[in-house]
A and B are shown apart, each in its own frame.
Chain A
Amino acid sequence: EKVLTQSPATLSVSPGGRATLSCRASQSVSDNLAWYQQKPGQPPRLLIYGASTRAIGVPARFSGSGSGTEFTLTISSLQSEDFAIYYCQQYSNWPQTFGQGTKVEIK
């Protein structure tokens, strides 16, 4: 099983600031990595797939990069609606796995 480790667990950022979230895989997942945003009481929302492709309707301030074992989600200018928990997921093989999440909170 490929383990995904996200860091940091919590990230405190001021509105308008930049957030950089990390996801590290225990083995290569190539570019078979997605990022999701989850707000309280809501299902997750797909943000990024294929490591760097934004899903439909996702603002350009969200960007993904990386391949192999190291991945980054960057939110360039945090808006109030971006404070949430973010998860990475690998789908390179079975079993698919999620990271434990990074909470982005208001500083």
Chain B
Amino acid sequence: EVQLVQSGAEVKKPGESLKVSCKGSGYIFSNYWIAWVRQMPGKGLEWMGNIYPGDSFTKYSLSFEGQVTISVDKSISTAYLQWSSLKASDTAMYYCARSESGALDYWGQGTLVTVSP
């Protein structure tokens, strides 16, 4: 059974750093892109970027490039989304998803990130 399991909810202060994780199982992790998607409170879905675990090739949305870092450790089938300095506007639910030729066929349960003074 394909599963993506994300790390738990986080509460941080502005300026702090954060790394959230997404662990895949039930399939060959290296062979499928992983996407990260943001959903701000009460809003729609925003594509942040994708990473290919086989070679760590990464594509970012222009809106997120330079704001976050997407990385992967294929030895433990885990992808990461990282901030070096959080802002209040980063408060959102973050989802990872497996990309099957572009369509996102399996999703993690989401990681809620709250940034508050």
Q: A: which residues have CB within 8 A of B?
A: 1, 32, 34, 36, 38, 43-46, 49-50, 55, 87, 89, 91-92, 94-101
Describe B's contact surface by its main secondary structure. Answer: strand
Give the interface centre of A49, A55, A100, A101 by most chain B CB atoms within 10 Å. A49
Question: A95 touching B103 by the CB < 8 A rule?
Answer: no
Instruction: Check: B76 CB closer than 8 A to any chain A CB.
Output: no
| Binary A-proximity of B13-31 (CB < 8 A = 1, otherwise 0) | 0000000000000000000
Closest 3 CB pairs of A and B: A91-B102, A49-B103, A43-B107
Give every chain B residue within 8 A of A92 (Cβ-Cβ): 102
Q: B: which residues have CB within 8 A of A?
A: 35, 37, 44-47, 50, 59, 61-62, 95, 97, 99-105, 107-110
Give every chain B residue within 8 A of A101 (Cβ-Cβ): 44-45
Question: A44 touching B107 by the CB < 8 A rule?
Answer: yes
Question: Other than the known A49-B102, A95-B62, what 17 A-B pairs have Cβ atoms closer than 8 Å?
Answer: A34-B102, A34-B103, A36-B104, A38-B45, A43-B95, A44-B107, A45-B107, A46-B105, A49-B101, A50-B103, A55-B103, A55-B105, A87-B44, A89-B47, A91-B103, A94-B59, A95-B59
Complex partner residue of A96 from B100, B102, B105, B107, CB under 8 angstroms: B102
Across the interface, name the chain B residue whose C-beta is closest to A90. B102
- What's the minimum C-beta distance from B87 to chain A, rounded to whole angstroms? 21
CA distance A38 to B61 in the complex (A): 22
Question: A89 touching B104 by the CB < 8 A rule?
Answer: yes
